[in-house]
Every structure is written in structure tokens, then in C-alpha cells.
Amino acid sequence: MNYQLLDFPIHGDHNGNLIALEKGKDFPFDIRRVYYIWGTKSDIIRGKHAHKNLEQVIVCVSGSCDFVLNNGTVKETVHLDNPSKGLYVKHNIWREFTNFSKDCVLMVLASEYYSESDYIRNYDEFLKESRG
């Protein structure tokens, strides 16, 4: 499947923890966009789309949620609950995310600017593309 769980190095001391992400060193692509998601009710299902080219790293900076990733053949669920882990999702992966804790905050780092034309929002179209 076209995803990876990245482990970010933590600078921790008696003051608490800090994670720094630097281009070319700790990160798989040049970041063009950052967005945040919070305040989603537990049973809501977000996502329901794939991307043609976009790559993203999703960090659950607070709380928890579940990502269900699907490449058209295999489905895997990834539980995110740790700000030192980054879910690196490449292109052509159908994603749905749900089971949001009340304090869930997701920070998403994206390889491209927002473009609706990069989205595949129709599941049948996604299956057709992913199965060639």
C-alpha cells in the first residue's frame, strides 16, 4: 500500500517536547500547504476521496482518530494518537477518517497547493483508475 508511518525525532527535556520538521532532512517532500482539522464529531466520516498526484503527511497533534486507507484492492486502518508519528499518504489512495476523539486536532502537510482537480471524489472512478 502507498503509505508509511514516519517517526519524527523528539527533542524532549524537563520543559516538555518539541518536534521540528526540516525540508530535505526529516521530511519526504517540499511543503507547499499546511492545514488543520478539528472539532469533528466522533461518528462523522471525512475524506471519501483519493488524490491523483498529491502527497501528504498527516499528524495527529492532539487526541486520536482512525484512517481507513484503501488502494482499490486492500483496506487498512491506521490509528493515529501520537504527535511524533506522521502518516505519509501518497497518491491513488482512497481515504476515510473517523472515530474522532473530542480533542482530536490533525495537522496536514501537503506537497501541492489546494486544487479540486486533483481530487477523485467518485469511488467507482477511483476503482477504475486504481485497477488500471
Residues annotated catalytic, as ranges: 49
Q: Nearest approach, Cβ of 108 to ligand T46 (angstroms)?
A: 5
* Cell triple for 5: 508511518
Name the segment binding ligand T46 (CB under 6 A); options: 2-10, 13-21, 33-41, 76-84: 33-41
For residues 36 to 55, the per-residue mask of contacts with ligand T46, x marking binding by CB under 6 A and - elsewhere, is -x--------xx--------
Neighbours of 87 (CB within 10 A): 21
Report residue 13: phi and psi, to 5°.
Answer: -150, -165
Instruction: List, as one string, the DSSP characters of 105-130.
Output: EEEEEESS---GGGEE--HHHHHHHH
Which residues are at the interface with ligand T46 (CB under 6 A)? 33, 35, 37, 46-47, 56, 58, 95, 108, 114
